[in-house]
């Protein structure tokens, strides 16, 4: 088994994220993780939420070995083998006998600001297709907000992202909400997180 990759940021925020997940999620269910990255998050969440079954995914094939290694090292039985999944490729998962596979939660951390803007609409459309009727989409990362002053750190981070790739950048929460509405989703909760990040909870619009 290859050695897993390590992200200091994922190590720092995994417990604050788990604390909020324990607040917003029921005791058991099935979750799809988009952009699992190193696999640190899904391994931590699966250990901390033993009633949940997790399906990790990532667009990068090289990430799948790291995800599998983290989960194997942790001895987790409630994580499925990682799948390659690019949110821009529709459909995300093939239909089964009951139609599109449905999940009680879809979790996506730190993807929107390091990928083209088109991934936001794709994330919302794919989530609308694969969420159970009462399921939740949970997104995490830095956001700009119309009524909230942007921290100096996030302004600097946004500049550095755009210098690396003109298609990247911290997304405005209100513009993300617009893409969600087009897919039939609505913002249900906003949780302020450490280091000027937000955890946003989305559900089907009523």
Per-residue model confidence as pLDDT tens digits over 18-45: 999 999 999 999 999 999 999 999 999 9
Q: Is residue 19 in a domain? A: no
pTM of the model: 0.97
pLDDT tier at 73, thresholds 50, 70, 90: confident
Q: Is residue 46 in a domain? A: yes
Q: What is the CATH number of the domain that holds 146?
A: 3.40.50.150
Q: Is residue 152 in a domain? A: yes
Distance of alpha carbon 50 from alpha carbon 68, whole angstroms:
17
What mean pLDDT do residues 140-153 have? 96
CB-count exposure of residue 90 (10 Å: 0-12, 13-18, 19+)? exposed
pLDDT tier at 172, thresholds 50, 70, 90: very high
Task: Report residue 157 as tokens.
Answer: 């981070």
CB burial of 147-181 (b: ≥16 within 10 Å; e: otherwise) equals eeeeeeebeebbeebeeeeeebbbbebeebbebbe
pLDDT surpasses 90 at 99: no
Q: Is residue 87 in a domain? A: yes
Q: Is residue 2 in a domain? A: no
pLDDT of residue 140: 98
Higher pLDDT, 3 or 155: 155
Q: What is the mean pLDDT of the chain?
A: 96
Q: Is residue 8 in a domain? A: no
What mean pLDDT do residues 169-177 have? 98
Q: Is residue 12 in a domain? A: no
pLDDT surpasses 80 at 1: no
pLDDT tier at 7, thresholds 50, 70, 90: very high
pLDDT surpasses 90 at 206: no
Q: Is residue 5 in a domain? A: no
Number of domains into which the chain is organized: 1
Give the list of residues 6+ apart from residue 49 with CB closer than 8 angstroms, or none: 18, 21, 22, 25
What mean pLDDT do residues 110-127 have? 98
């Amino acid at each position: 088994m290859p050695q897993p990759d390590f992200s200091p940021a994922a190590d720092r925020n995994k417990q604050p994220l788990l604390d909020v997940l324990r607040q917003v999620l029921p005791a058991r269910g099935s979750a799809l993780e988009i952009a699992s990255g190193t696999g640190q998050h899904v391994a931590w969440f699966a250990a901390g939420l033993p009633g949940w079954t997790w399906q990790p995914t990532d667009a990068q094939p090289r990430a799948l070995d790291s995800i599998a290694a983290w989960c194997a090292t942790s001895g987790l039985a409630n994580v499925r083998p990682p799948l390659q999944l690019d949110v821009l490729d529709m459909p995300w998962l093939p239909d089964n006998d009951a139609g599109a596979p449905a999940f009680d939660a879809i979790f996506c951390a730190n993807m929107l600001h390091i990928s083209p803007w088109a991934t936001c609409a794709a994330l919302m459309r794919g989530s609308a297709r694969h969420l159970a009727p009462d399921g939740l989409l949970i997104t995490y990362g830095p956001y700009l907000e119309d009524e909230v002053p942007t921290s100096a750190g996030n302004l600097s981070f946004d500049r550095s992202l755009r210098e690396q790739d003109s298609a990247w950048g911290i997304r405005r929460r209100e513009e993300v909400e617009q893409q969600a509405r087009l897919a039939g989703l609505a913002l249900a909760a906003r949780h302020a997180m450490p280091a000027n990040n937000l955890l946003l909870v989305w559900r089907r619009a009523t």
